[in-house]
Amino acid sequence: MSTLIEAVEEVQSWFSNIDDLKKVVSAPPPAINFSDLPLAWVVPKSGTWSPFTPTINKQVRQFQVFIFVSPLTFGLPEKTYQDLISLIDTVGRHLAGVLYGPEFNYEADRDPSFSDSGISVLEFSGTEYHGFTVTINLPFSFR
């Protein structure tokens, strides 16, 4: 990953490989179609820049992935609740394999980390959804 755009695409690809997600986007759609749920939206957040050598800048970039599962107006029936718990577990296990597995190759002086918000209410375009947020702290270099 040598640019922020490539980093967003990389994070997006991790979530695209999760079968339980129907759609993964890096740009916000005008509205969320219920048939696209669960939907994940990858957003680059804050980054910390510091000089490592005269020619390379190391950066730790935070990404937030908003995962919309079900509109709040549908309530939280047992199946939706169980689906949310299962999806949180699936996403966590998948990311652990990606970020801490032997195939993850990055140049950094610290390890990546991630956390999830647990079941929460997310708002998008005036509609509230049951879902959760995953926060990823990803160190990498831009050259």
Decide if pLDDT at 1 tops 70: no
29 CB-near residues (< 8 Å, 6+ apart): none
Please, which pLDDT band fits residue 121 given cuts at 50, 70 and 90?
Answer: very high
> ∠ CA(97), CA(15), CA(20), 5° rounding?
95
Give the pLDDT of residue 59. 74
| Residue 84 half-sphere exposure toward CB, CA atoms < 13 A | 25
Decide if pLDDT at 20 tops 90: yes
Domain residue limits, the chain: 4-142
Give the pLDDT of residue 128. 94
Q: Which CATH number fits domain 4-142: 3.30.360.10, 2.60.40.1120, 3.30.2000.10, 3.40.50.720?
A: 3.30.2000.10
Instruction: Please tell me the least confidently modeled range out of 11-20, 26-35, 54-63, 78-87.
Output: 54-63
Tell me the Cα Rg of the chain. 16
φ/ψ (deg, to 5) at 51: -70, 135
